[in-house]
Structure 1
């Protein structure tokens, strides 16, 4: 597992363990004298954890052996994810508490508990600012009320479908997500527009406001302004809008931003030097994080290009291509590949043991022969793959995972009934279009749907990648791949 709480079993102070060795060593240095726990507010067993330094797989927290209960199994290991995101409710509670304090609001926040066990701990965080309606951050579908009873001001977590009625009538839906920020995670509030696009803002006072309608962001303010604007007959709409924008005063809900441009030269030079010098994963990630934070309100074409280069290099390093320091994924994928039916000859030769190019073999060639007796035509499979790929991109932008059942609800008739073999085939097709230096989108469903986890071995192998034979190793690889997918698609 990657998350724990610090100092005691009842702690609400979460921490995330870096996966790579340099980051692990820095983590231990920063947390000398601290203890790690499988805390009750994580839904854990209350046991003490140790941080394990690994060079053959990702570094992780492990339970201290309990001689008095050798056969006990932690709930976090058996029933729910324990990687990135499993402590997001704690980060959100901390963020909303700090946001209220800095905004001069009195009130408290709490994590909903369900004695029946039907709703997991962390499924909902509720904040109660004095003088306003409660704010409900829903992170699990189990915490949603019946359809039609979801309040319009509910803040939805990743992977939870918005109510189309609310999107149509209101023009937006509030979102919340947590993104990596060193050994912690940063909370952001999003505005989902009725056209499916998102605007994300750091959850801080001055950027995210509060009014009688609930949370408010700059994007929400603009949507409300457009919806309340009246254009007199005979007046050209664009002229009127331009005049109103020119004359508009800054919104009192948000801090005014400086008109002075910010000089990012030093940060750009530092990131360019880190790329040229081939520094470690941790140092390169640090330089990239600094520039990303500085350009959050806008970046030049040069800065965007440089950040994409750094992101791609980090992906290659973490996958073992060009890495300068020991990293987890390459060793876990070092097994001799198994033979797949009807594998294209050039793909098979590219995956010989010891050939580093196997990790980035071309994906445009056909992989498998048509299934005999399949009810779906090749055109139907290709069409389904296109629809799934689009849905998985949306899932990646929302920083979550998904299941086949969720895809079926989202896509409807675009996703016909399939056999297990057809599901694997169509997921291979999904990632045929994925550039060779990007992580597989199919990892999002393999990680989120236990029925397809084992199939990731076949999907990866058909695309020229190796995957571990053992289940623990496969989970490690999946978790690392999902993290890289989220990182890649979190950028505009």
Structure 2
């Protein structure tokens, strides 16, 4: 019986060999291969999941060369026969050669994970107490987790090398901050192994040949990676957002456990009683920024931004991370259960009215004037404002502006000063700039600039806003005036980002763009093209003066230019502000095309637009459309 399967891989020597080979597919290459290796014998080896029978090479001129089983051998149930079916053996051989090259002691073994002997390749480095797992077959998270625990039983670290990207690779990237990859490429009768590294800093993978790598105490080190991938496990805890408001009170009498796994650079830890929304009070570690004044244990605070829960895998307990907070007044704090109970107000008794001239009649009792709760809150806020420190004022302004962004409104500086009292009274322009810079610091791309929500007494932008933006590092803000159209457009966009970030339903926002003016200046070549079109218009006016003289080719040209401009405006969206001239030309083109369409009749009672279109030549309309298209190209180059 003839063997019609295209078997591309085999082992050399005997059926138990782990020395792989790929048969060259082209006839000239196979002839060279035979001359170089006349004594090779090929086998459908057990390490390939094969039957153990002998193979022979078949040379063809009209189709791909391949291996075939020798007649009379055992029945073969080998599943994979392509050039990648021996990848585990090529990885195994490459690792052995690397160990010999660097004089290292280690053990290399292939693993059968249920689908054949080529599921994975393990390298054990006893001196470094480390294992390297090259995962050839696909793996899900639960299987990976179980294998990771099993491989790490007698070593300190396990390095995973994945063959392809996928959900598991992305999970490891999120956990460790980097992933290690491997791939193979065919070179003649070999499959060359490459090692790749990918980090959060970039989506691309940097590849190096396995033979160029080196084995050290930290494992396998690729030349292009250097010290880029963090060697070791994840240093930061996992973060899960907490829904709803959160209140807390510090406990200065309890120290944070020594060597807390939640410690990180730029943060301070403190023990606190924490009450998330809809939950009982719990004792937890609190992670706060160390560049702000610490809260006082004598007060209760509420998180301004959404708080997050920090979890370290394999570590008992949890922590809460928050960046901004505001102090609650005594009555609000008492309602949280984290502060002392306020004494009840004394019962108010009615005050008798003064005696009238008629003592024999009872005088009516006038009750005391009722004071609304809103008035009480305003008075309490006013009293609190008088004692706010500068740091407390910064936190309070952040909260006020965040609430304003969530509601889609702006706030006058004078109204803000009335709310906060002393900290913002009689401040100079320089002091106001310093204060607003502190309110918006630190600023990163995922935050919105809160200062854009403040307006001057005239309702316009704050006069100091350009200086504040420049101090915060917003590009293009230096030297702009508050009546600059680019600045107004940028402020409008930044306010929309604030609504998206701090609204009741937060949603992702694009990265902040610098304050730039869309450049509509044409290049020299574009100006030459426009000039040539205008000269053509003048020449055309002497020859054909209206739309009724347009040829079929000219009509097609105008329609193509009109469609081109339409597409470009659709692609740019809001980045291109349509001017009156643009609207006029596009309306003229639509009318012109309707009047020059095949079978169109010239109306007897013409509208002003139709009359103007009939007076316009094809060359004149083409020149106008060309100029708008060039202008759109310039805007697109500015943004993309």
TM-score range, shorter chain: 0.3 to 0.5
Higher RCO (CA-CA < 8 Å; seq separation 6+): 1
Instruction: Indicate the structure (1 or 2) with the bigger Cα radius of gyration.
Output: 2
- Give the TM-score taking structure 1 as reference length: 0.41
- Give the TM-score taking structure 2 as reference length: 0.32
Query: Which structure has the highest strand share of the two?
Result: 2
